Amino acid sequence: MTKVCFYFQVHQPFRLRKYQIFEVGNNSNYFDEQKNRFVLNKVAKKSYLPMNKLLLNLLDENPSFKVSLSITGTVLEQLEAYNKEAFESFKELGKHKRVELLDETYYHSLAFLYSKEEFKEQVNMHKKEIRKIFHKNPRVFRNTELIYNNELAKFVEKMGYKAIITEGADKILGWRSPNFVYKPKGADIKLLLKNYRLSDDIAFRFSNKSWKEFPLTAPKYAYWISSIREPVVNLFMDYETFGEHQWKDTGIFEFMKHLPEEFRKNKVGYLTPSEEAKMEPVGEIDAPYYISWADVERDLSAWLGNEIQNSAIKELYDMEKEVKKTKDKKIISDWRKLQTSDHFYYMCTKWFADGDVHKYFNPYDSPYEAFIRFMNIIQDLKIRCENKNKEKTKSKKEVVA
């Protein structure tokens, strides 16, 4: 009997406001509160609230139904600040005993690539936050954008996780199927791989009228899954797929609503990531290079593919010591909010000339605009660090004197 594992990613970044160079040194308010509030409320209304309700109903009606979620610290902060109703609704869902929560970096960052220490701190922050809000202790880790390599697997093993999630990319799988549990090379934990074809059928192709399988119905999809005859199909996607990327009028909610019934008819069961982690691995996966779940390339090029992205992120992580030396909560949290991967995604110039999915998700006019805001803000943050650290050495001297 085939089982499915649903994992949905819930995330929103703190978008930057138009920050001009003339504000450097005068204004340490970096985030577009109005826009962030607007987007959060829009997504909550179109996606989070109806989908949370739908999942809670499915959990009630189907005793075997299970899902897992990974919720970033940045979206939790915004939910709590801007939309109490959605926050409470997530709380109810996340506390359900058949809902598993995953760990990741609190700020949905690329920290692992630049600072292991910072990475660890952010993962622990997330763990703490999840425990505080949901009283749960995640056992499975997912890194930002499913970015992954052997080294990361080893690192999170040391942090005590039982399994790690990544993309079932062809380049690491070769001829093998993603529908089994594997083990990472050099680490003694489990590796769970996204079945991108079946996941993307829902996430990207669901409403695509030129797709030959359009329209996708619950019976058809359940039939596909049941005919796989492999142990587990990992269906990983953004939570915003439901209602935001695929609008309500595409029938996405109806599809999800009927899926468990069709799964039952076709004898498709459910697993959570930590249940998968108890299964025996069928083989070892070697990922010496980074992979991710983005674009056709399945690499880092959406965030770190050009000169502006690389120079911005370098400048950000070069500040780490100075930032942490300040011990100033606000400075540190501002710095961390700038680490959210979305900021670098907005600077992506791949196919910018053609306009595409990157453009759709970009709140600014252009990748260059995103870069300018970001860099101007960093200049200000640097000044704040300098001032703070100067102040501290000064007061220290005074104490000595």
Partner 1 sequence: MLGWEFPPFNMGGLGTACYGIVKGLTNNNVKVTFVLPRIPSRFKGNEKVENNNKYDIIIAEEEANVKKIIVPALLIPYITRTKYNELSVKEKTSSSGDLYGKNLFQEVIRYKELIKQLYLKGVLDNFDIIHAHDWMTYLAAIELKRLSGKPLIVHVHATEFDRNGMRYGNQKVHGIEKEGMEKADAVITVSNYTKSVIISKYGINPQKVFTVHNAVEFSSCSPSENFEIKKHDKIVLFLGRITLQKGPDYFVKAARLVSNVIPNVKYIVVGEGDMKNQMIRDVVRLGLASNFLFAGFLRGKDIDRAYRMADIYVMPSVSEPFGITPLEAMRNGTPTIISKQSGVSEIVNNCLKVDFWDVNEIANKIIAVLKYKALKNELSKHGLIEIKKFSWDKTAKEIINVYNTLLRAQ
- In terms of Cβ atoms closer than 10 Å to its own Cβ (0-12, 13-18, 19+), residue 353 is exposed
Please say which residue, 2 or 362, places its beta carbon nearer to partner 1: 362
371 is a site residue for partner 1 (CB under 8 A): yes
Which residue in 192, 277, 308, 331 binds partner 1 (CB under 8 A)? 308
Residues 373-392 that bind partner 1 (CB under 8 A): 375-376
352 is a site residue for partner 1 (CB under 8 A): yes
Which residue in 41, 226, 301, 306 binds partner 1 (CB under 8 A)? 306
Which residue in 38, 117, 368, 391 binds partner 1 (CB under 8 A)? 368
Region from 17-25, 178-186, 204-212, 326-334 binding partner 1, contact rule CB under 8 A:
17-25
Q: HSE (CB half, 13 Å, CA atoms) of 51?
A: 28
Q: List, in order, residues 6 or more apart from 336 with CB less than 8 Å away.
A: 106, 107, 109, 122
312 is a site residue for partner 1 (CB under 8 A): yes
Region from 118-126, 160-168, 289-297, 361-369 binding partner 1, contact rule CB under 8 A:
361-369
- In terms of Cβ atoms closer than 10 Å to its own Cβ (0-12, 13-18, 19+), residue 355 is exposed
Is 145 in the active site? yes
Number of residues engaging partner 1 in binding (CB under 8 A)? 21
The encoded tokens of residue 139 equal 């056992």
Place of tokens 């329209």: 215
Please say which residue, 248 or 382, places its beta carbon nearer to partner 1: 382
Residues 20-59 that bind partner 1 (CB under 8 A): 20-22
Residue type, 192: L
The encoded tokens of residue 325 equal 């030396």
What is the nearest approach in angstroms of partner 1 to the Cβ of residue 363? 16
364 is a site residue for partner 1 (CB under 8 A): no
Of these residues, 104, 145, 262, 276, which one is catalytic?
145
Please say which residue, 193 or 381, places its beta carbon nearer to partner 1: 381
Active site residues: 145
Interface residues with partner 1 (CB under 8 A) are 20-22, 306-308, 310-312, 349, 352-353, 355, 365-366, 368-369, 371-372, 375-376
